[in-house]
């Protein structure tokens, strides 16, 4: 970790354009778009199959995903998820932004912030599996192919986020 000042963020328009290029290349090279939950789900299935194979074999949901150690890791979404993690870490290191911290408002404790973050992450993860996909796949891949359902979903997500922000903003002040 560096003691130097962090480098400035990229121009968001340039970063968005480059994300569009990556999405195009994903469709062009693999025939499908981007998403995050599928790769993470397969990594969890691989970890469960490694640590508790009997539990995975007796659970129809996990057994259907696992299908053996080689098939789980031999999927483009797994390598996409690992690439996002590696790319994010590399970007943070190059931008001198890697540090251990808990971002929170002054009127909330660190422990409550962590509990809320893990609870929210768990709900989003469960909802993504229930919906059979995540918001990144829905917004990027579905929006890129002009799916009306994807556009309606994203307007709902952003609208819901703005409405909820009014109730939780006091925690950040």
* Whole-angstrom distance, CA of residue 116 vs CA of residue 165: 15
Place of tokens 């973050």: 117
Which residues have C-beta within 8 Å of that of residue 78, sequence separation ≥ 6? 39, 42, 43, 46, 72
Same domain flag for 110 and 146: yes
For the cut 60, the answer to whether the pLDDT of residue 1 exceeds it is: no
Report how many domains make up the chain: 2
Tell me if 136 sits within 8 A of 35, measured CB to CB.
yes
pTM: 0.71
Out of 51, 81, 100, a domain closes at 100
The length of the chain in residues reads 173
Same domain flag for 13 and 94: yes
pLDDT single digits (tens) 55-104: 888 988 888 887 655 677 788 888 888 888 999 999 999 999 898 999 88
Same domain flag for 80 and 5: yes
Same domain flag for 88 and 27: yes
pLDDT single digits (tens) 19-37: 999 999 989 998 888 888 8
**CB-side exposure of 52: number of CA atoms within 13 Å?**
8
Tokens of 110: 């660190």
Backbone angles phi, psi at 35, to 5 degrees: -175, 160
pLDDT single digits (tens) 131-171: 877 888 888 888 888 989 889 988 998 999 999 998 888 77
């Amino acid at each position: 970790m560096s003691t130097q000042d962090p480098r400035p963020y990229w121009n968001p328009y340039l970063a968005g354009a480059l994300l569009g290029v990556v999405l195009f290349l994903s469709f062009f090279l693999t025939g499908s778009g981007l998403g995050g939950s599928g790769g993470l789900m397969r990594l969890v299935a691989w970890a469960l199959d490694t640590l508790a194979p009997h539990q995975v074999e007796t659970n129809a949901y996990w057994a259907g995903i696992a299908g053996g150690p080689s098939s789980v890791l031999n999927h483009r979404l797994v390598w996409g998820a690992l690439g996002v993690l590696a790319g994010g870490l590399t970007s943070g290191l190059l931008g001198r932004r890697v540090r251990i911290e808990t971002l929170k408002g002054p009127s909330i404790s660190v422990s409550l912030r962590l509990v809320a973050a893990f609870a929210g992450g768990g709900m989003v993860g469960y909802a993504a599996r229930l919906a059979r996909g995540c918001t990144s796949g829905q917004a990027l891949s579905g929006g890129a192919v002009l799916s009306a359902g994807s556009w309606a979903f994203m307007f709902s997500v952003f609208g819901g986020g703005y409405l909820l922000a009014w109730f939780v903003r006091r925690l950040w002040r």
